[in-house]
A and B are shown apart, each in its own frame.
Chain A
Amino acid sequence: MLRATNLVKSFHDPAGGVVHAVAGLSLAVEPGVIYGLLGPNGAGKTTTLRILATLTRPDAGEVEIGGVDALRHPVEARARMAYVPAEGGLPARLSALEAVTLFGEVQGVPKAKERALQLLHELGAGAYVERECAQLSTGMKRRVVLARALMHDPGLLLLDEPTDGLDVQGRLDVLQLIQSLAAERRAVVLSSHIMGEVERVCQRACIIHRGLKIAEGSLDELRSLGGAEALDDAFVALLNAEPAP
């Protein structure tokens, strides 16, 4: 479903230097798999997701989504996936129903309003459809954002820190939702720096550090590479094994 090869992206910093946000990253995600993009803050997770979502153009590399070259045909690629930014990205002054319906209508989904209502109810936001997004709780916003992402039934979901800011119950609910999405043969890529939730939902993961992929595999393989029983410890061991810049 998703194949990214040798992605490179650099930015100029205000001091005139160059920051290598992504430095030769490759990954592949098959349908039905939840793939974790792990790394400390500033590792390049969000930049990688933005490249995959066709929001940022890489300096080099290739991205293929559902068989479409995403760099040459970004519009076609976007029709096959949904991107959920870390901030959520709900317009404050639209109601939950309006925000979700809009995305369906723009994407040509038939009976968009009915489908939006159905999704919002199924995701547990049915009681809040008429409420302005600005007035929703963080957990409810996450549900609305996921409903919006699912409007056109994408095969690939790119989720940037989807549980950020949620309480324990909200986090468990969202993780459960993500598992149910993967069970429908969708590919899911989620970025996170919380090992517990990665262990709960991901089948595969890669660890990024300073834009480089330093480890990739199943969770067991990552634990083995880090020489630790807990993913937290393996993660820290793998990061510490990297030479200082």
Chain B
Amino acid sequence: MNTGPNTGASPPLAKAWALLTVSVLTRTLREGLVLRALIWPALIIALTLLVSATFVAGLYASKSAAVPDEAFAEVLVAKGLDARVYADPEAAFVAGEVDRAAFEGPEGWVILARFDGAYTMAMESELRARLGAAWRPMLIPRAGRNAALGPTTRLLVGLLAVLFVLYGVVFGAGGLSRDQQDGSLDAERALPVPSWIHAASRMGAAGLALSVAFAASVWLIHTILGVSAPWAWSVVGGLSGLGGAAMGLGLMARAGRAESLSGPLSRGLVAVTGLMALGYSAPALGRHLPIASVGALVRGDLPGVGAVFTTLLVCGLAAWMFDRSAR
């Protein structure tokens, strides 16, 4: 047996933290279930949106219209419709040859349409102009898709953020419970580094994995739909995932080996759900708190700088609880 160097010297803390964080991250990402949990929500949302968009686009793709005279057809063609002159536009519509028809009936002008939407509205507008009506609908181009879709995408990304916060609690509590059970936590704790480093590395790994996966999800949805303040969402989601992991880890450490995973996990899930509800109902306060800032952002309140400090405070508290659990 060879013997190596026994320096008896403590390694640099930053290096030890980085090595342990990478190790925890590697172990976490090698769990197929974890990796799928991080990737699938965004992929499912993106796929659902793309399928919906394809379906809707197909539905509204028809530009066909039947009109009774050439002048009206020319005006509509200029608006992008595929308008043609028919002797009996109504018959053409009923026969399914076109999806829109305009004609003068016994009681006045009529528009028949299978779909609402921009082309049908353009047709109505031109008909009203042609008849000299007192009013006509106007199509005003959107100022930007973000503003128009804001509430919808906020809700969509908000739900995703809620999921990642819950993941954080599961990662924090579940990872520690697993390491307690298989003895790897004790083995690591016997290393010549301060005990809180092990809490910090676990929170760092969970925070990193959740932040990257959540930010990628946000930007994927942003690419498809447009998300208002995607950077704010990325920061809030990452911080809240880290906060959730810290809460899960702290509660599991406090429970120690005497309690199984289910107790601390359920307490953590209740706590983060309560915080998010607080942020939603009191966004002015919630925007400065970890996890609660998700609820505030769903309401449209951007996070305050205080959220960063309070998240770090929660992480510090979790590390302290972890350190205390060894006593």
Contacts and interface: CB of A to CB of B under 8 A. Distances in A.
Interface of A: 14, 50, 53-57, 66, 75-76, 78-94, 98, 102-103, 105-110, 115, 118-119, 122, 145, 148, 150-155, 180-181, 184
19 contacts: A55-B186, A56-B326, A75-B193, A76-B192, A79-B7, A79-B192, A83-B186, A85-B186, A90-B187, A91-B23, A102-B19, A106-B11, A107-B11, A107-B192, A108-B11, A152-B4, A152-B5, A153-B5, A155-B6
A224 to B, nearest CB: 34
B4 A90 contact: no
Of A57, A66, A103, A151, chain B has the most CB atoms within 10 Å of the CB of A103
A90 B31 CA distance: 15
Contact of A76 (B3, B8, B184): B8
A76 B10 contact: yes
A169 B181 CA distance: 27
B2 interface: yes
B115 to A, nearest CB: 53
Given A75-B192, A75-B193, A87 B7 contact: no
Contacts of B258: 14
Given A57-B327, A92-B182, A78 B191 contact: yes
B20 interface: yes
B30 interface: yes
Interface string B181-199: 1111111111111100000
Chain B interface, >50% SS class: loop
Contact of A84 (B4, B187, B326, B327): B187
Contacts of B184: 89-91
Interface of B: 1-12, 15-16, 19-20, 23, 26-27, 30-31, 179, 181-194, 258, 326-327
Nearest to B29: A93
B1 to A, nearest CB: 6
B190 A55 contact: yes
Given A78-B191, A152-B7, 20 more contacts: A75-B193, A76-B192, A79-B6, A79-B192, A80-B8, A83-B186, A85-B183, A85-B187, A87-B186, A88-B187, A89-B185, A93-B26, A148-B187, A151-B4, A152-B4, A152-B6, A153-B3, A153-B5, A154-B6, A181-B1
Contact of B23 (A94, A109, A180): A94
B65 to A, nearest CB: 62
A181 B9 CA distance: 22
Given A90-B182, A90-B184, A122-B2, A79 B9 contact: yes
A98 B25 CA distance: 13
Contacts of A108: 7, 9, 11-12
A80 B6 contact: yes
A85 B182 CA distance: 9
Nearest to A53: B190
Contact of A184 (B1, B181, B192): B1
A89 B19 contact: no
A116 to B, nearest CB: 10
A55 B16 CA distance: 18
Given A78-B192, A106-B19, A122-B2, A92 B187 contact: no
A76 to B, nearest CB: 7
